[in-house]
């Protein structure tokens, strides 16, 4: 079991009180305990079984506008005293930074509504193994599947955040996840791989093992015998598994740190239309059982729903305390990034989206990290399928897709098939007129 909150609160309060006695003008402390168990299978045989137990404290000390941080996994009282003493001495010789400070007291969370982020259920290793055996059996029903890799992870954590302005709060969370990677070989000896997974806060919300194995095998078999295509300008459709990547780029580009450094192509774009008028984007931290849900950000600032993009217009940056002061903006509870980030679902069905163009490329996997946040340029390797008149014709591999996010954002059409499977979620997305480099 994870440590109870009283133990964590006592440790955090001890850190704050001692730091003040030793000369800190302000301080914050986070005390965290996490447990995780992982079982991995490969080709019906146990490959690895691992358990980890992590207990740690992280301390930040301010002396005026000077700041330094220190952390340790040894929570012995004498060690914590030594830790704080060292941090105090380090802070004294650290250069001043006018933007260093704790968050404003009035922004700190004062009321928490239960979001059901913790499940006390536990699944024993023997049960994990049986689950994975069933996953692999389902995947290996198809004779073309020659290799499988599966895994099951369970983790539980509890933490307390405290600061010298009187903030003292925290919460438990849990996660359960399972995955299957399948490898298939065609008659010519060429191989392809694909996967399926499930990840939830609660054990009983997971996909059934047979579903995971069956879907992984199906996706893998569909990729056999891929063709190469000529270079051209063509409409691209991003599968839901990767369409969320567009939102991840947006989140990085509108983080206060990128804006303050001037390293984002979206600098000075607040209240400007950066998407088409049909696009709305939300960051919602209070979704019950949400994989990205949280009660407050990493500084203790309350998090509320933000409509980041309203009818195509950028309305907010993701602001933390330090970079917010640089930009003369108040924190909006996004220290540590987004929570549950998503496109509002579109108004067209998945099948209708596939038929919007006579020919289109349906992308299921991208390779590499080809996003330049300074210029907005985008270029990645990709695999997928050629679509003609809404029908999947054949798999495609060894291509590169490219564009610029200033243009990509303006040419997005969203399907209505949004589902919340990750902390960042997007429906199937069509982008008109991207460049594809082929053979």
Strand pairing class (145-163; 26-42): antiparallel
Architecture of domain 5-222: 2-Layer Sandwich (3.30)
pLDDT at 106: 96
Q: What integer pLDDT is reported at residue 70 of this predicted model?
A: 96
8 A C-beta contact, residue 198 and residue 212: yes
Quick one: DSSP state of residue 18?
H
Q: How confident is the model at residue 433 (pLDDT cuts 50, 70, 90)?
A: confident
- pTM, two decimals, is 0.95
CA distance 192 to 9: 51
Mean pLDDT over each residue of the chain, to the nearest integer: 95
Residue pLDDT, tens place only, 336-368 = 999 999 999 999 999 999 999 999 999 999 998
- pLDDT tens for residues 398-421? 999 999 999 999 999 999 999 999
List, for residues 133-149, the tens digit of each pLDDT value: 999 999 999 999 999 99
Largest CA distance in the chain: 74
CA angle 326, 327, 332 (to 5 degrees): 105
Give dist(CA 203, CA 209) in Å, integer.
12
In the predicted structure, residue 300 carries a pLDDT above the cut 80: yes
Report, in this order, helix, strand and coil percent for the chain, each rounded to 5. Answer: 25, 40, 35
The confidence score (pLDDT) of residue 150 equals: 97
Residue 2: the pLDDT is 83
Sequence-ordered strand ranges (E) for 107-187: 145-163, 168-185
Q: How far apart are CA 152 and CA 30, in angstroms?
A: 28
Identify which of 194, 180, 184, 177 has the alpha carbon closest to the alpha carbon of residue 242: 194
What are phi and psi for residue 385, nearest 5 degrees? -140, 145
Cα-to-chain-centroid distance, residue 305? 17
In this predicted structure, what is the pLDDT of residue 323? Answer: 97
pLDDT (mean) for 322-335: 97
Domains of the chain, residue spans: 5-222, 226-439
Q: What pLDDT was estimated at residue 438?
A: 82
Calculate mean pLDDT across residues 229-246. Answer: 94
What are the two backbone dihedrals, phi and then psi, of residue 87, each rounded to the nearest 5 degrees? -65, -40
């Amino acid at each position: 079991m994870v440590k109870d909150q009283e133990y964590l609160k006592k440790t955090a309060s001890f850190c704050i009180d001692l730091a003040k006695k030793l000369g800190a003008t302000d301080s914050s402390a986070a005390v965290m305990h996490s447990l995780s168990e992982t079982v991995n299978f490969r080709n019906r045989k146990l490959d690895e079984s691992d358990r980890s137990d992590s207990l740690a404290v992280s301390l930040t000390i301010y002396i005026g506008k000077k700041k330094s941080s220190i952390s340790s996994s040894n929570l012995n009282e004498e060690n914590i005293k030594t830790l704080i003493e060292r941090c105090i001495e380090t802070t004294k010789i650290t250069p001043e930074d006018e933007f260093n400070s704790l968050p404003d007291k009035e922004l700190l969370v004062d009321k928490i509504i239960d979001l059901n982020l913790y499940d006390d259920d536990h699944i024993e290793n023997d049960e994990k193994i049986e689950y994975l055996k069933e996953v692999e059996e389902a995947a290996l029903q198809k004779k073309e599947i020659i290799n499988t890799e599966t895994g099951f992870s369970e983790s539980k954590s509890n933490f307390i955040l405290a600061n010298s302005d009187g903030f003292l709060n925290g919460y438990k969370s849990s996660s359960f996840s399972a995955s299957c990677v399948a490898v298939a070989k065609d008659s010519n000896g060429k191989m392809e791989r694909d996967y399926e997974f499930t990840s939830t806060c609660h054990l009983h919300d997971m996909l059934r093992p047979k579903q995971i194995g069956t879907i992984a095998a199906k996706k893998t078999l569909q990729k056999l015998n891929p063709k190469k295509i000529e270079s051209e300008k063509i409409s691209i459709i991003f599968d839901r598994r990767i369409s969320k990547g567009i939102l991840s780029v947006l989140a990085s580009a509108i983080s206060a740190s990128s804006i303050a450094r001037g390293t984002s192509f979206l600098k000075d774009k607040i209240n400007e239309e950066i998407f088409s008028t049909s696009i709305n984007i939300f960051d919602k931290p209070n979704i019950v059982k949400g994989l990205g849900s949280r009660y407050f950000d990493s500084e203790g600032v309350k998090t509320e729903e933000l409509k980041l993009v309203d009818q195509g217009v950028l309305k907010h940056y993701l602001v933390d305390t330090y970079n917010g002061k640089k930009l003369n903006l108040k924190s909006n509870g996004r220290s540590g990034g987004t929570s549950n980030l998503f496109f509002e679902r579109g108004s067209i069905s998945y099948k209708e989206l596939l038929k919007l163009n006579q020919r289109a490329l349906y992308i299921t996997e991208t390779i590499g990290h080809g996003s330049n946040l300074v210029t907005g340029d985008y270029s990645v390797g990709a695999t997928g399928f050629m679509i003609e008149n809404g029908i999947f014709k054949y798999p495609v591999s060894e291509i590169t897709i490219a564009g610029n996010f200033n243009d990509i954002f303006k040419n997005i059409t969203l399907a209505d098939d949004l589902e919340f499977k990750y902390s960042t979620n997007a429906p199937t997305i069509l982008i008109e007129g991207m460049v594809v480099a082929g053979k």
